[in-house]
Amino acid sequence: MSLQNPINDGSTLARPISVPPSSGESMNRDSGLGIRLPSVSSRPASAAPQQSKHHRNFSSPSYRAINTGASLDLMGHLQRSGPAIVKTRRVSFVMWSVYLNGDESLAGRALDLDLNVHGAPNFRAPRQGDLNVFGVAQPRTQGLRAILSVLRCRPGIQDPSHVVWFSTREEPIVYISGRPFVLRDASQPRRTLSISDRAENLEAIEMRLKNDILQEATRYGGLVLTHNEVASDSGEGAILPTWTAVDTNNVKTSRELWTYMKNEGWNVDDNYLDAYLNVIKTTDPHKTSLVFSCGMGAMRTTYAMVAACIVRRKRVMEQGWTDPFGLVGSSTFNAAGNALKGTNTPLSRSDTPPIMGVSKSGVSTPSNSQIQMSMEQASAQQDLSRSLLRLTYLLQQTLQEPASHSAIELLMTNPTLLENLRKAFMGNYGIILSLLGCLDHGVQAKKLVDKVIDSNDHVLNIREDILVERMKYSLTSMEEEKGEAFLNRAGKSLEK
């Protein structure tokens, strides 16, 4: 189609095919070129607003259509599809809208660890015991390799160690280009979506999730919409929709990842928490490292580390080694409360404690039992002083308005509150005390558990977390919905 030049020179100008014909067009007569340009009054209502020559939006579909002809990329299609994908996304085993979240929680990362490993947040070992027990948040593949290298499990080295890796999660995980992703409810993107606690179910669900991801990617040019949390100084950052390239080679389930690692020569086995007890009992504490992981590496990982330390303590003491936690007055008892012979402790040298003796100078010497009693009293006094200081700190951190009342003022004016909080801080809840009455050597068993919990509190102290969540609940009003969440978390911590 051609248009007659209004300058009447008889020439014709071919309209570029990328510019749709418009009945409202007029010529720009000042140019003197005889080229028709759209006038301002004839701009369609849906056109993008005019921009400064220094800030042109070259990615705008309207700009690119006018200047470059047919678009070769998928940007316009992805921009239009993004908002509707989450609303219409239906994976084969969930009947509501879900995010595919990058599995990295920036808010729950501990910043004061002795050793930081790239790609493996919250990697740590107990401060005491040296039982080859470790914990970590869900790592990337490079973080997984780094941890195994730290534990001397790297292929190609002489006499590599053995590692057993435990997943404590209750949700499916898929790896895309080495990064873990999990499902989240679109209405609660930061809340764990627990689906099953059985290893067989989780592995089957992960395979179905992988197939759903690949199928969705075929509709968007090999891309899938994921969501990632952005770092923020205030804690929880914004969740940013992000397009991620996927194909059959870079999407792996947990089982496929571990199979790949073993085929590459890494001396590592994987297990789920429901089978951990039998595995721990059959591994040598001096030759096999145990690594536990969950999403943030906090609650479930810490709980598993504590349980593993207790079980391994029993193993090493049965082999004739001394108590790795050096408990005073309870080192002759294992985790089950049974007496052990041959341990290097005062009470294990004789079935009958010696009585007070007299030296050659005529000065009486205390017996082993008296020395032990004095040490226990000194230890109890230290625990009391430490608990009061720590309790004051936790209370100050929990108060929403520190300027109105300080923790010290609150405790000094309420002696009954101080005593109740101190008992709660020490874990002396009614249900716990009732349980101790049902166990042989229950008091010694609780001392052991408290000692192990305190040595694994790099990211979270399970005993203190009960009190912290309970205090947060007490500070909320009846109208606040988050109060019930605080109480539920306190109950879960108490259960663990």
pLDDT digits (tens, 9 = 90+) for 331-341: 444 444 454 44
pLDDT at 187 over 50: yes
pLDDT at site 479? 66
Please check whether residues 53 and 105 belong to one and the same domain. Answer: no
Please check whether residues 200 and 243 belong to one and the same domain. Answer: yes
Q: Is 58 part of a structural domain of the chain? A: yes
Give the pLDDT band of residue 4 (cuts 50, 70, 90). Answer: very low
Q: Model's pTM, two decimal places?
A: 0.72
% of the chain surpassing 70 pLDDT? 71
248 or 86, greater pLDDT: 248
pLDDT at site 56? 45
Domain of residue 311 covers 81-315
Please check whether residues 102 and 244 belong to one and the same domain. Answer: yes
Please check whether residues 90 and 231 belong to one and the same domain. Answer: yes
pLDDT at 466 over 60: yes
Please check whether residues 24 and 137 belong to one and the same domain. Answer: no
Q: Is 395 part of a structural domain of the chain? A: no
Across 157-161, 311-315, 368-372, least confident range: 368-372
CB atoms within 10 A of CB 465: 22
Q: Is 459 part of a structural domain of the chain? A: no
Give the pLDDT band of residue 90 (cuts 50, 70, 90). Answer: low
Please check whether residues 58 and 115 belong to one and the same domain. Answer: no
Please check whether residues 93 and 136 belong to one and the same domain. Answer: yes
Check which CATH number belongs to the domain holding 242 and give it: 3.90.190.10
pLDDT at 390 over 90: no
Give the pLDDT band of residue 389 (cuts 50, 70, 90). Answer: confident
Q: Is 134 part of a structural domain of the chain? A: yes
Q: Of 300, 315, 330, which marks where a domain is finished?
A: 315
pLDDT at 294 over 80: yes
Q: Of 315, 339, 367, which marks where a domain is finished?
A: 315
pLDDT at 1 over 50: no
Please check whether residues 187 and 286 belong to one and the same domain. Answer: yes
Please check whether residues 124 and 265 belong to one and the same domain. Answer: yes
Please check whether residues 139 and 212 belong to one and the same domain. Answer: yes
Q: Phi-psi region for residue 34, left (φ > 0), alpha (ψ -120 to 50) or beta?
A: left
Q: Of 284, 315, 346, which marks where a domain is finished?
A: 315
Please check whether residues 182 and 41 belong to one and the same domain. Answer: no
% of the chain surpassing 90 pLDDT? 29
230 or 52, greater pLDDT: 230
Q: Is 154 part of a structural domain of the chain? A: yes
Please check whether residues 173 and 106 belong to one and the same domain. Answer: yes
Segment 437-443 mean pLDDT: 89
Number of domains in the chain: 2
